[in-house]
Structures are given as structure tokens and as C-alpha cells.
Copies of this chain bind each other. A is one copy, B any other.
């Protein structure tokens, strides 16, 4: 793993690094113009940064792999997104804005339907509306109860929700109850092989499921809950311990604040707008060597399939670059956690544009920030988990390896 070399080399130089993540940054060419969202947007400031530094493409997890926000952010933070995956339940809890503790086990819920014999008839309850999902989860919230265990429920989109069981002796090494098929009953929650310490968590999960079935007996829309991605709160070695960086995070959405908190960054409170995020930058750098800023709107526009809005968001971020660069950081990185092409209305597997400038970053020939330019950039195409170490190097924060 990359950190095995990097972590022991990190020093506490005074230089500062700024990581600007434009969620879902990369796109695909518009059929009419042959240009992506980023290439269509007028971004004179980002282009100037690209000209002053080097560009390239990163693969968040591996070539061809479409990542969720969790693994892709861990990679941008210098962690191995495969070896150090933190569990789907935890990511869902972070996304719902829940602050997990060591006594918690989180799991994702699928609302589903079952027949009179208990066989699953629809694993997603006909993709019920988010409103219906919220109502059903509200019913559960009001009526479930297990002595000694706090049960925290949050609806997500449509049939999805998250549950956190909080109590003593809970261990997240529990099998999914989702049978991944219809016509068969849900599985019982059970400890994973070799994890007898998860017996109590499995028992709690089974009791929760039994109560949920009773509570939802009369419901047409959803009368079953399938649980998967059980996981406890096991944060990796902190960002500060690992990279000698005091880090602050600025983000509008709970998921990204949660991911920053997971690696031990200081996290600023919820921000109402991109402008508010940028206004917070000077304060974020007070006493910090590293600031991570997350912009969500690029991804939202991509997910909505709104090419023009994604272009507009990119232009509005570009217009704020002059304000950002009034803050004295040494090395800046601008990239995405993954691509969200408007034409796909979803996260995609394509490599993600990245630019780095400042410190001892070399200056390559690319003078624009866009997918085509980045393909020719000197950073080349590389695994995202190797991005931070290059920024540390450019900032003079890495000692020599070997004699």
C-alpha cells in the first residue's frame, strides 16, 4: 500500500495545500459540439492554473471502476480505497449526517415486499417514492424498541434508508439479510465466519426485523426490511497522524463532512452555498496545513442530466478562483472524486481530470483544464491514491526514500 512508504517520509514543513474537489467533475462530449461540460465552460482562471502547473487524469479506484463517493474520497485523501474500505453502512450513515460512535453498528435498509409465506416479492418495494419511503421509515421510528439499544433511522431516496444500532457489545461483522433474489425468504442476520463477537449485533438486527414486519403488516407499499452492509465505526489512522497535516474540511453535504471526519479532519459546519464555502477559506487555513473543499453542485447537475447547468456551475466556481487564491497556500489541486457525465446521469468509470500547481510542481505544456488537455498532461494517468503524495512532494513535505 502506498502509505507504507509515504507516511514515514512525511515531515511537518510549513507549506500549505488546498484540495478543491468538484464532485462528478469529468464528463463526456456533447454529441453536437464534441466538448465535455468542462471543455464547454469558460474557465479562464482554471485554465490559468492548468498553464501554471501540470495536468493529468486519475482513476479513483482502478481503470474501469465506477466509484461511490466513499472510496473515491478516501483515495483523494491518500488512503487505499480498496484495502481501507469502511463499510457501506457507515457510508450511508455519514451520508445521512449521522455522527457515529464506537458503540454503533450501521446497516443499509432496502424497503421490500414479501408474500404471506415470507418470500420476497420485490427487493425494492416497487421503488416506492421517497415520500412513501419516508413515511414507512417514520412508522418504524415511532414503534420499534429494543431494551439497551438506541435505534436511529434515516430515510434516503425511494426504498433506501439507513439504520444505526447503538449499544454495548455491538460488532459490525454481520451477514446481509438481503437474499439478492425474489421468491425466497430474507436471510437471518448472523455473525460472519470467525466473528462470534458479532452475535449480539445479529440478534439485535433480527429483533429489529421481526418488529418491523409486525409494524408493517398492514402496509401495501412495503412490508419487509432487508439489511446489508453492516459495519461498525472503525476509522483508519488519522490524516494528521499519517501525513503530518492539520486538515480542515469545508463542505455543504453531510456525506463529505462525514468522510472528512472519518479521517480525523476538522470539519466546518454546514455551508449554505458555494460562495459561503469560499468565504470560509481564509479561516479554514488558520492553523491548518491542508484544506479540503467540496463542491456538490457539479455532480447534482450531472446526475440530473443537465449539461448546461453543469457548465454554469463550473463557470461560477471558476469565477471564485481569484478570491480563493488570495489565501496563501503553496500547492493547489483541482479535481473530481469521479466523473458524472450529464449524458449518463450517473457516476461513471472514466478517469478524472486533475490539475496541480505550485511548490515544485513542474509546468507542462497543457494550458487548459479539460479532459482532452488532461490526457496530454505531465501527471499522466495514475491511481487517485497517489495524488496526495505528489502534492506533499511539491509542497516539500516528503523526505527522501532510502539512501
Contact = CB atoms under 8 A, between A and B. Distances in A.
B64 A402 contact: no
Interface stretch (A126-134, A198-206, A209-217, A387-395): A387-395
Contact of A402 (B62, B85, B379): B85
B65 A403 contact: no
A113 interface: no
B66 A399 contact: yes
B70 A386 contact: no
A88 B402 contact: yes
Most B CB contacts (10 A, CB to CB) among A65, A344, A376 go to A65
A372 B380 contact: no
A297 interface: no
A167 interface: no
Contacts of A81: 402
Contact of A398 (B108, B349, B375, B376): B349
A9 B365 contact: no
Most B CB contacts (10 A, CB to CB) among A364, A378, A392, A402 go to A402
A65 B363 contact: no
Contacts of A6: 64-65
Contact of A95 (B85, B349, B376, B403): B403
A268 interface: no
Contact of A68 (B229, B348, B401): B401
A85 B402 CA distance: 8
Interface in A55-75: 57, 61-72
A349 B390 contact: yes
A64 B401 CA distance: 10
A124 interface: no
A28 interface: yes
A401 B63 contact: no
A171 to B, nearest CB: 21
A2 interface: yes
Nearest to A74: B402
25 contacts: A5-B61, A5-B62, A5-B82, A6-B64, A6-B65, A28-B362, A34-B363, A64-B386, A64-B390, A64-B392, A66-B398, A67-B401, A68-B400, A68-B402, A91-B403, A92-B403, A95-B403, A341-B360, A347-B400, A349-B360, A349-B390, A349-B398, A364-B372, A378-B381, A380-B380
| A-B interface, 8 closest residue pairs, ranked by CB to CB distance from nearest | A380-B381, A64-B389, A68-B402, A349-B393, A64-B390, A64-B393, A71-B402, A91-B403
